[in-house]
Amino acid sequence: MSRTPPFRLVRGGRLIDRAFQLAFRFDGRHLRGVQGDTLASALLANGQMLMGRSFKYHRPRGPLASGAEEPNALFGLGQGGRFEPNQRASTTALVAGMVLRSQNCWPSLDADVGAINTWLSPLLPAGFYYKTFIHPRPFWKHLFEPIIRRSAGLGRAPTGPDPDRYEQAYGFAEVVVVGGGIAGLTAAREAADKGGRVIVLEQDPHWGGRTPTDHDGGQAAIDAALADLRGRANVTLRRNTMAVGLYDHGYLLARETLADHDPNQGIPRQRLWRIRAGHVITATGALERPLSFACNDVPGVMLASAMRDFIADYGVAPGKRIVVVTNNDDAYRTALTAQAAGLDVVAVIDARPQATGDGPQAARAAGIPVMTGTAVAKVKGGTHVEGVALCDQSGTGRVTGALDCDVVAMSGGWSPVVHLYSHCGGRITWDEAQAMFRPDPSRPPLGADGKPMVTVLGAANGDLRCAGDLERAEAPTMPVWVMPRNAPYKLRAKMWLDFQNDVKVSDVELAAREGYASVEHAKRYTTLGMATDQGKTSNINGLAVLSAALDQPLEATGTTTFRPPYTPLTLGTIAAEARGEAFQPLRKTPIHDWHARHGASWEPVGHWRRPYSYPRAGEDRYAAVHREILAVRNGVGTLDASTLGKIIVKGPDAGRFLDMMYTNMMSTLPVGKCRYGLMCNENGFLMDDGVVARLSADTWLCHTTTGGADRIHAHMEDWLQCEWWDWQVHAANLTEQYAQIAIAGPKARELLQRLPGTIDLSQDALPFMQWAEGELAGIPARVYRISFSGELSYEIAVPAGRGLELWEKLHDTGRDLGITPYGTEAMHVMRAEKGFIMIGDETDGTVIPQDLGLHWAISKKKPDYIGKRAQARSFMKDGGRWQLVGLESLDGRVLPDGAHAVEPGVNANGQRRTQGRVTSSYHSPTLNRPIAMGLVRHGPARMGQVLEFPMPGGGVMKARIVDPVFYDKEGTRLNG
């Protein structure tokens, strides 16, 4: 039978407004739809039944469904960064000017060369990939994988960044109702009566679910319920909002679409709601199942409910001569709806021996032939339906007759949408009488209080009658998993279960024969339910076929796991505000803008941005580092050290507490003095270091590394609150209260003494490792005489709000001294020249202070400190540990950071044995040669020995073990 226009009915279509015509493009063709159309209804209204190609065989595909479960009609939408693949035609609203691209076809939807796969289908059974490409091994990598990768994947990824805006929002309600059909709205009213906040979420742009389409008086009932709910202050009704996942303790994610239809509006395109619900009511309805008869995938074969939606909701005739195939009463609604719209209903083919419900009676009364005990033996046609051959449902498919038609409406019964209920642990049970899995009321998901946190209502609970007065009498559904019941292989190999992934009845049976008895294994072996619809239409039918093949009840087979999201989420909604500049909270010091103005090349340190160096015109960042180091060594430089952690520890037990936190003794530190301290975890491993200053009898200030500030403060709080909670200590993280500036170099004192102030900065008054307080340049300041560069050095802490002022005054005052700002890399190189360790370079979470030759910073008098017991473990005292040494490259090249020193022999895995590694490696501008530090087995005892470091790509570098202090070992400069 050929298909002839017009396809838009003259009347009907409750969701469309024919007055507003919308032009759009489909694969280059100019078409028109109307306001309210979905892409599917608009294409059908243009006579376009072919909407896609299946994944594996590239078979022609028409729309199967009219909702979120659509597996076939998927398009690439939008252009450039807004391109999105796999958009469902059934749920995407038509917008004027839209550009649709068909997928998985080449060169075009109508003439797809990949369709040749369908002729190869006997060669492409379930598990095909696993069986075919295993041998010979090299073929996989060089031949099969590249080919499969090119042809795999449905749709293509967008190539540009998504230009749209997304956001998230937090919602709170005592009750959240998911589903705005009659069941949901009725439940919302009851919940609202109790006084708590109620949020109702509806995935579609319109309320009512199936109620208005399927029930006389349905729209009126919905309108009445909405009018009631809109009058209540404690009810929020939210349309266009898809509940995608339900998690522990009532955490519900829902996506609200705001500007999908108009991306240029400037508002967020979508919003992800993070809702905390006291209780969740899911009234999510049910999805209709296809029937498995031969060639049920020909375009024009669709779900009966979808066909009546297209007719009743959108005023579109998918065809003119309709055959309805069913195993239940509900599909009769489609027959009656089609007939009322003036279409020719050729017959209802009912697999049941008899059909006596209200629906069948009404159909007969309307003159529609009803053929019971009958099945479709085969659909005729290639790219569209031309007719059906009939047979007895109880037989093997011997053809008993034929009907001409251009579309087939099928209904294999309904499956409750139990996804949200199942996401968070709700169990389902097989209801034999209704042939469906439905929620098991005895095993619901539990909330924080141990009580059921989800109530399932309406069709989602297996109650397929409509709520309230809209009920009608329906005869039971008869399970029909294969049509006809005893279909031979020839027919079963043409019965599609998963329309997108081309999984057929015969494939699932093959999987069962090959031993894939577990439903999760069978799914992955056959790819059943792995398509973009995640098995919404295919799952139950496939499970039934698997159960039959295994000769076990469906209950025993069970279902695959329902996992969120219910429908795909755009990654933009998950990222939300965390994009671009707001990707992470970028932390800036009070002097940040000065660094930026002076050309800082940035280094991320945690969330901070610190100047790596300050390249001048004609310099790269490395040349700048070289210049900065020489400026500090020969004159004076400034480093923004504001990011260093600064934790105040105060109280009668503060000294005792710090003795536990640090490996060295802090309680004996005199007021006014500083001490370098090491902090280990209970495993004994070095976790942080820094200078501790004693501010007063009961107050210490602990400096931490930049990355360690929050972590070390939390570490202290943990021990204070949970272990020594009876000790009187307060710890406060004051990192951000202060700007801190390091002034280093032989001219540091000269510079600082030029600034007016009340602090005596002379060597006698303020020697190395002491601090003093007072006013400097009119700013209250604390000056620490500490050095990480090995030079004469002061670190000055001032209130953060005055940090920039001090920095600028220093630079104004020191211009003639050649004052130079230096960055983190100059700091790193200078400390390495001095043999100072760096947390994260010389440590990696497995290094103890003893490995680093820091015995002098480990108290032997203290009975206990965090990590002491661990450091006494046998392998911590083992002389075979890798220990810190200096490394001197023999050929003048800089050793690669992280390079491993090898030794003869291989380990158990056949790899070269290693005896050490490079932890820090630089070119030293001060010494004008490479320097490096590393951890080497028995290192300190092997001075002068030469190690070999194999290089990537071949070759070896050699380095001699030397003392790790390369510069000013006597410390005369820093004491200057």
Partner 1 sequence: MLILTCPYCGVKAEETELSPGGEAHLKRIGPDGTAADFEAYLFARKNIKGVHFERWRHAYGCGKWFLAARDTHTMQVYGTYKAQTAHATDEIVANARQARPEWVPDWPQASEAVVG
Partner 2 sequence: MAEALATIIRVEGLGMVTIRADLDHAGDAIAEASGLAIPDQTRIVTDGSRSLGWMSPDELLLVLPAAERADALTALTDALAGEHALVVDVSDARAVFDVTGPHAADVIGKLMPVDLDMLPHDGLRRSRAAQTAAALWRIPGGFRLIGFRSTADYLRLILENAAIPGSQLAPR
Give the binding site for partner 2 (CB under 8 A). Answer: 165, 167-172, 197, 236-239, 258, 265-268, 274, 276, 577-578, 581-582, 584-590, 607-608, 648, 650-652, 728, 730, 732, 734-738, 799-802
CA dihedral 742, 743, 746, 750 (to 10 degrees): -150
Q: Contact between 607 and partner 1 (CB under 8 A)?
A: no
Q: Contact between 856 and partner 1 (CB under 8 A)?
A: no
Cβ(327)–Cβ(88) below 8 Å: no
Question: By rule CB under 8 A, what string of x and - marks binding of each residue 416-435 to partner 1?
Answer: ---------x----------
With CB cut-offs between 5 and 8 Å by kind, which of partner 1, partner 2, none does residue 169 bind? partner 2
Rounded to whole angstroms, how far apart are CA atoms 454 and 426? 8
Rounded to whole angstroms, how far apart are CA atoms 327 and 482? 11
Q: 869 or 913: whose CB is closer to partner 1?
A: 869
Least Å from the CB of residue 582 to partner 2: 5
CA atoms within 13 A on the CB side of 781: 29
Q: Contact between 446 and partner 1 (CB under 8 A)?
A: yes
Least Å from the CB of residue 776 to partner 2: 16
Least Å from the CB of residue 708 to partner 2: 15
Q: Which two tokens stand for residue 143?
A: 């031949």
175, β-bridge pairs: 198, 279
With CB cut-offs between 5 and 8 Å by kind, which of partner 2, partner 1, none does residue 267 bind? partner 2
Other CB atoms within a 10 A radius of the CB of residue 454 amount to 27
Q: 546 or 739: whose CB is closer to partner 2?
A: 739
Cβ(672)–Cβ(771) below 8 Å: yes
Least Å from the CB of residue 682 to partner 1: 6
Containing 650, the helix (H) or strand (E) segment is strand 645-650
Cβ(350)–Cβ(359) below 8 Å: no
> Which range, of 50-58, 134-142, 244-252, 502-510, touches partner 1 by CB under 8 A?
244-252
Rounded to whole angstroms, how far apart are CA atoms 166 and 573? 5
Q: 272 or 424: whose CB is closer to partner 2?
A: 272
Cβ(243)–Cβ(252) below 8 Å: yes
Would you list the DSSP string of 278-312?
EEEEE---EEEPP---TTTTSTTEEEHHHHHHHHH
Least Å from the CB of residue 569 to partner 2: 17
Rounded to whole angstroms, how far apart are CA atoms 776 and 794? 13
Least Å from the CB of residue 249 to partner 1: 5
Query: Which of 28, 231, 450, 910 is the binder for partner 1 (CB under 8 A)?
Result: 450
CA 612 to chain centre: 32
With CB cut-offs between 5 and 8 Å by kind, which of partner 2, partner 1, none does residue 582 bind? partner 2
With CB cut-offs between 5 and 8 Å by kind, which of partner 2, partner 1, none does residue 588 bind? partner 2
Least Å from the CB of residue 505 to partner 1: 37
Least Å from the CB of residue 677 to partner 2: 21
Kindly determine how many residues on this chain lie close enough to bind partner 1 according to the rule CB under 8 A. Answer: 29
Q: Contact between 868 and partner 1 (CB under 8 A)?
A: yes
Q: 578 or 956: whose CB is closer to partner 2?
A: 578
With CB cut-offs between 5 and 8 Å by kind, which of partner 1, partner 2, none does residue 800 bind? partner 2
Rounded to whole angstroms, how far apart are CA atoms 913 and 932? 21
Cβ(636)–Cβ(817) below 8 Å: yes
Other CB atoms within a 10 A radius of the CB of residue 56 amount to 22
Q: 68 or 709: whose CB is closer to partner 1?
A: 709
Would you list the DSSP string of 114-168?
GGGGGTTGGGS-TTHHHHHSSSSHHHIIIIIHHHHHHH-SSS---SS---S-EEE
Least Å from the CB of residue 566 to partner 2: 20
Q: Contact between 584 and partner 1 (CB under 8 A)?
A: no
Rounded to whole angstroms, how far apart are CA atoms 168 and 271? 5
Rounded to whole angstroms, how far apart are CA atoms 560 and 550? 16
Longest Cα–Cα distance in the chain? 114
Q: 267 or 714: whose CB is closer to partner 1?
A: 714
Least Å from the CB of residue 248 to partner 1: 5
| Cis amide bond preceding 163, omega within 30 | no
Least Å from the CB of residue 693 to partner 2: 15
Cβ(233)–Cβ(198) below 8 Å: no
With CB cut-offs between 5 and 8 Å by kind, which of partner 1, partner 2, none does residue 268 bind? partner 2
The C-alpha angle 459, 461, 465, rounded to 5 degrees, equals 35
Q: 171 or 476: whose CB is closer to partner 2?
A: 171
Containing 337, the helix (H) or strand (E) segment is helix 332-340
Least Å from the CB of residue 440 to partner 1: 15
Window 274-313: residues binding partner 1 (CB under 8 A):
276
With CB cut-offs between 5 and 8 Å by kind, which of partner 2, partner 1, none does residue 442 bind? none
Least Å from the CB of residue 116 to partner 2: 49
Query: Which of 110, 358, 717, 812 is the binder for partner 1 (CB under 8 A)?
Result: 717
Residue of 590, 629, 625, 583 lying closest to 607 (CA atoms): 583
Least Å from the CB of residue 425 to partner 1: 8
At 957, the amino acid letter reads M
Query: Which of 872, 941, 946, 956 is the binder for partner 1 (CB under 8 A)?
Result: 872
Which sign, positive or negative, has the C-alpha torsion 175, 178, 180, 182?
Answer: negative
With CB cut-offs between 5 and 8 Å by kind, which of partner 2, partner 1, none does residue 958 bind? none
The pair phi, psi for residue 11, each rounded to 5°, is -125, 170
Rounded to whole angstroms, how far apart are CA atoms 500 and 533? 8
Least Å from the CB of residue 686 to partner 1: 16
With CB cut-offs between 5 and 8 Å by kind, which of partner 1, partner 2, none does residue 238 bind? partner 2
SS3 464: coil
Cβ(903)–Cβ(897) below 8 Å: no
Window 514-553: residues binding partner 1 (CB under 8 A):
none
Q: 586 or 765: whose CB is closer to partner 2?
A: 586
With CB cut-offs between 5 and 8 Å by kind, which of partner 1, partner 2, none does residue 764 bind? none
> Which range, of 524-532, 571-579, 837-845, 867-875, touches partner 1 by CB under 8 A?
867-875
| Contacts (Cβ under 8 Å, ≥6 apart) of 769 | 673, 674, 675, 785, 786
With CB cut-offs between 5 and 8 Å by kind, which of partner 1, partner 2, none does residue 717 bind? partner 1
SS3 49: coil
Q: Which two tokens stand for residue 11?
A: 């009347």
> Which range, of 6-14, 70-78, 231-239, 715-723, touches partner 1 by CB under 8 A?
715-723
Q: Contact between 734 and partner 1 (CB under 8 A)?
A: no
SS3 428: strand
Q: Contact between 169 and partner 1 (CB under 8 A)?
A: no
Q: Contact between 855 and partner 1 (CB under 8 A)?
A: no
At 378, the amino acid letter reads K
Window 250-279: residues binding partner 1 (CB under 8 A):
250-251, 276
With CB cut-offs between 5 and 8 Å by kind, which of partner 2, partner 1, none does residue 448 bind? partner 1
DSSP state of 463: -
> Which range, of 470-478, 668-676, 861-869, 919-927, touches partner 1 by CB under 8 A?
861-869
| Contacts (Cβ under 8 Å, ≥6 apart) of 101 | 27, 75, 76, 77
Least Å from the CB of residue 171 to partner 2: 8
Q: Which two tokens stand for residue 694?
A: 């004693």
Point out which residues bind partner 1 (CB under 8 A). 247-251, 276, 425, 446-450, 682-683, 714, 717-718, 721-723, 725, 863-864, 868-870, 872-874
